[in-house]
Amino acid sequence: MAARRRHVAAGAGAPAQAAGEWAAVTAGGGAAWALSPVEEVGTKQELMRRTGLPPRDLRALDPALSSAASASSCRPSAITGRDRAVVVNLDRARAVITASEVLVPSPRDPAVAPLVRELRARLALAASPTPAPSPSPPQHGMAVGMDGSISPSPASRGGEEAAGNGKDGEALGGGDKALPFEFRALEVCLEFACKSLEHETCTLEKEAYPALDELTSKVSTLNLERVRQIKSRLVAISGKVQKVRDELEHLLDDDMDMAALHLTEKLAYQSSRFDIDKEASELEDHSTRDEEGVEGGGGGDGDDETIAGGGSFSPNTDELEILLESYFVQIDGTLNSLSTLREYVEDTEDYINMMLDEKQNQLLQMGILLSTGTLVSSCAIAVTGVFGINVHISLYDSPASSAAFPCAAAGIVAGSLALYLAALLCYKRAGILQ
């Protein structure tokens, strides 16, 4: 009993399952592991509190949090929006994106380190203030004033006045609106995943087309083995590209999933709703206290109804849709390249099969010719055997100087050739031989 109590106490006091190494890239582009060793996020519970994610999402990203069987299984590609984070699991691009930071598992992995560097560079560039544009030389149709300002020349004012008001509105509208942090981080992950798959596709194409051409010119065991390995890689890469494309298509078709990715707007909406609810509760308390002194006041009820009448969270998904469509087109182009390569492989296989069938037909025809020649030779040998029987005939009584024996031998050979040619003619008429 004492030993059992000690065992239970030791199990209760054991530390929780530790998470692997994670790189935390903040909104300013800084990463903890860039200046010091990789940040140890801690246990799985601490990581869940930091991101607000359920354990199944963390197990899909970090192999250290899952068993060997589940870690070795193929994880489907997904971009999932949660309450406080966005889970990105696209082949090599695996990250947890919040409204202020990006958490990337296994940053020391050579396949993941470029993603962390790209996140730091892009997010730092987006967070840095935009420098003032340097003055450019005046273009054709522009005039420079005394104070250095550039204005249209009189010759070009007529063309500018002919332009529509919509174009003037675009010129006066200023620069593009900056994307939220989660969209910038998502764009980096999508770009990294698409470029990685595109690089694998280009590498496969550079190896596949020469190998297929060489196999077409010379069918050998070595060339067949190379093409078999290329086809295996083609199937694997096509599966990964197809998963990413299907996930992007699913997001583009579902407005609710795209709305779940707006973390910044969601936090602002929740904050505004909290302020509205707080103000509504204060107004309700105030109206309750002044209910006896105020009679017939309908304005307070109208204010309460206005404040309480907030709708559900429905952000504008146009920016995110444009972002996803651009990478959908890119990954679709990669899939088209793989489809073209697959068709080329299938055409090469069909050509090789036709060549092998032709060789097989030639071997069969040669076998028919040899079998027919063997049959005719057997007939000639049978005739010779008949002449070799110890039976007295008049041919044996001819003198040695006569031509009886050569004539008999020539007759046997001629008869064999005639029989062979007759068999070939029958084969050609029957369509057995070409």
- Which pLDDT tens digit goes with each residue over 213-234? 999 988 889 999 999 999 999 9
pLDDT in tens, 104-147: 888 888 888 899 888 888 887 765 554 444 444 444 444 444 34
Residue 207 CA to residue 215 CA, distance in Å, equals: 12
Handedness of CA 245, 250, 256, 260 (dihedral sign): negative
Tokens 């994106």 sit at which residue? Answer: 97
Give me the domains of the chain, ranges plus CATH numbers: 22-127+180-259+324-346 (1.20.58.340), 362-388+398-430 (no CATH)
Looking at residue 432, what is its pLDDT? 84
Tell which wins on pLDDT, 167 or 234: 234
| For residues 9-26, average pLDDT | 58
Looking at residue 312, what is its pLDDT? 67
pLDDT(171) > 50: no
Q: What is the pTM of this model?
A: 0.67
Tell which wins on pLDDT, 133 or 380: 380
Looking at residue 259, what is its pLDDT? 87
Indicate the SS3 state at residue 38: coil
Greatest mean pLDDT among 102-116, 204-218, 291-305 lies in: 204-218
404-430 and 318-387 helices, crossing angle to 10°: 150
> Any bridge partners for residue 104, and if so which?
23
pLDDT(37) > 70: no
Cβ 67 vs Cβ 129: under 8 Å = no
Least confident among 28-37, 47-56, 230-239: 28-37
Residue 386 CA to residue 180 CA, distance in Å, equals: 104
Residue 85 Ramachandran class (φ > 0 left, ψ -120 to 50 alpha, else beta): beta
What mean pLDDT, rounded, does the chain reach?
74
**Burial grade of 95 (CB within 10 A; 0-12, 13-18, 19 or more):** buried
| For residues 290-296, average pLDDT | 50
Q: Which helix (H) or strand (E) holds 105?
A: strand 101-105
DSSP output for 228-292 = HHHHHHHHHHHHHHHHHHHHHHHHHH-HHHHHTT-HHHHHHHHHHHHHHHHHHHHHHHHHHHTTT
